[in-house]
Chains A and B, each alone.
Chain A
Amino acid sequence: MDVRYINPFIASIKNVFSTMVQTEVTVGKPVLKPTNDRAVDVSSVIGLSGDIVGAVVLGFSCDVACKLASTFAGIEMTLDHADFSDAIGELANMVAGNAKKDFTGHDVSISLPSVIVGKGHHVSQLKTSPRLVIPCSSAAGSFDVEIAMVVKKAPVTETEVAVAGV
């Protein structure tokens, strides 16, 4: 996967957690997702559509998800809190939305978030594209951001935009 599409996610992860969760996140080297990947307890999924299709998945253990959701929302949150999924989903929404602004020349839309809660689950993604995992660590613990995407349409250049009068 082109670094032009990975670096925006790295910058976005740091920005979202620093600004909204008051938590600095250290991002490790992105790796291709292994077939025997780590199971997670909470997943927050955002779909990408338009010039780029795929999905972004934030994967957490219960403990880390609850800590991050609590700090983000400013109230103590456990898995059964009415707003737990809302908070975790909004974090994924901001990570994906903030990253896509840097997909220069592409018109990309994001879906509403879906949150999956279940001890030790895996999220299956597109098999036709590389699935990258960005390992993240924070004071609340470690979590992963997984990206699977396919560029369906080449980016529009600045010249093309000017000619089209956009």
Chain B
Amino acid sequence: MIEMKNKTPLLFIIAALLALLLGVFFGLFASLQYIIPDFLKEYIPFHKMRPFHVTTVISWIILCVTGSIYFFITHIEKLSLYSKKLSKLHFVVFIITAIGIYVSFLSGKMEGREYLSYTPILTIPILFGWILFGVNYYKTIAKNVKNWSVYYWMWATGIVFMIYHLCEAHFWLIPGFRERFITDMAVQWKSYGSFVGSWNMLVYGTAIYLMSKIKRDSNLAHGKMVFFFYFLGLTNLMFGWAHHTYIIPMQPWIRYVAYGVSMTEWIVLGHIIYSWIKSLSIKDKQEYCMVYRFLKAADFWVFINIILALLFSIPAINFFTHGTHITVAHSMGTTIGINTTILMASVFFIVQKILPSFKTTTLFIKRSYYLFNIMLFLFFCTLLYAGVIKSNWMYFTKDIHFSEMQDSLFTTYIAFFVFGLGLAISITTLSLTLFKALFKVLKSN
């Protein structure tokens, strides 16, 4: 077991795992309300439960990737952090804000909008936390690293764009801006699209970091090709958001730009297929078995999700998928299939580094891993099916009420709940195992 002088990265990860567990259970309760509309309606109806779920699972991604980055730069790269105090302050600010968000939800003060529904004043400490992280990160890397690997670029741009898009998501607070309904709505969804793009920069940077460490190949993070994909991803983050809003009657040029930029992702897909076929001959690295497995799972989910995203970036397809559960399937595939698998790989990697005696190849962990992927795949397929039914109702049926269409999906929603439950069980078992290991390190230090 290694001795850790600065335990802040571990605290971030422990808080993240706690958020994951809570978020998953909020999601389960919310999905139950699709089947039993009166379930908890008196106490916490769906419209109040959903913000708990959404905000908590976003916190899982943010806290875990932040803790991972702090850990990698200080404990693996052995760089001297510009300020340990700033990292501690960053953690304290985020935790106090998280408590503030729950208080805001419990007291019914939800003046914000979808995904950021807490009272908007709480965005100030969140921004402050990101600025602290940005300063600490930049000062540490700029001082100690000369030839930046692609993941250093990705983390840096992820932090900067996170700050920018968090501000942009609150432009509606400017009175003159919110009066222009269509522009306001377009900018709101622009910011959300790029906000996800920003955290993807942080998470994908983490994936490249892990791959280069497992393969012990620094070229993986330095080659021209990897930088080409980084810039392509950045271009999509900046300009590719509008496929979320094709249907909003905004100026056509915005939609043209988005259509053009989104189509560049076909290059990414082509590359994934090429590298995947190439890597088939590479044997599992026994040393980082679970890390490698989760990264392989992420590879599969990237493949599936990019096909889906590319298809509905074509306006003629988007027309039928927009506003249906197919969009939810995509976001679940991204946040659970890609983000969560990469972050699970990251936590397994960290645990193996700080506690080498920790066994990751137990049958229990392996079973949980398979359960996670199988349940997620079924969950994903259920959403696609529900999306097809809704799209058919919207465009190819007449005089059928919304409630009748929803009732026809009753069995699908039961399946949705059952697969969600399976997913929750697998996430719980994996998280609790990791929790135990992290607490052991914390206690012994």
> Do these two chains really belong together in a complex?
no
Task: Give the B-binding residues of A (Cβ under 8 A).
Answer: none
